[in-house]
Amino acid sequence: MHKKISRAELIIFDLFGTILVCYGTDHIIRPGTPEVLEKLKNKTLVVATDEPVISAKKVLGEYARRFARIYGKEHLIEENRQRYKNLGQICVDFSVGSNQAVMISDDLNGSDSRSAEKYGVPFILVPRDSSSLVKVLDCRP
């Protein structure tokens, strides 16, 4: 298992491009996601996305229940014309320090790595061209 994940109590996943991949107009669960979620079931898993919570839950379908909470557009903060996922509040909500969490994202526009840096949360990049989360996160059974 990836070192940053094995040390973390709270795993914060980005949604689009990380858990879900886009094929045309369809969003599907990235290959390997079910295996990763199963492997990490003893950790607290949350989603932080730029989309409204209701939309995230809808597109996740049955997978939504695998997450302790979904944070959406409603939870974003803006400072100096930059939008951030409020990873600090997420850590507070689950009573963990920022060093006990990890953000996993494809970081399409750089906002997730900026959010992680702002709040001192370790960050793992999921390359957009990577086919499987299992391979990226080294979560083999």
The domain limits of the chain are: 3-137
56 and 47 Cβ atoms separated by less than 8 Å? yes
**Confidence band of 58 (pLDDT split at 50, 70, 90):** very high
**CATH number of the domain located at residue range(s) 3-137 in this protein:** 3.40.50.1000
Write down the pTM of the prediction.
0.94
Mean pLDDT of all residues in 68-89: 95
pLDDT at 136 over 60: yes
Helix (H, G, I), strand (E, B) or coil at 24: coil
What pLDDT is attached to residue 127? 85
Q: How far apart are CA 44 and CA 112, in angstroms?
A: 19
Any idea which of 20-24, 49-53, 115-119 has the lowest mean pLDDT?
A: 20-24
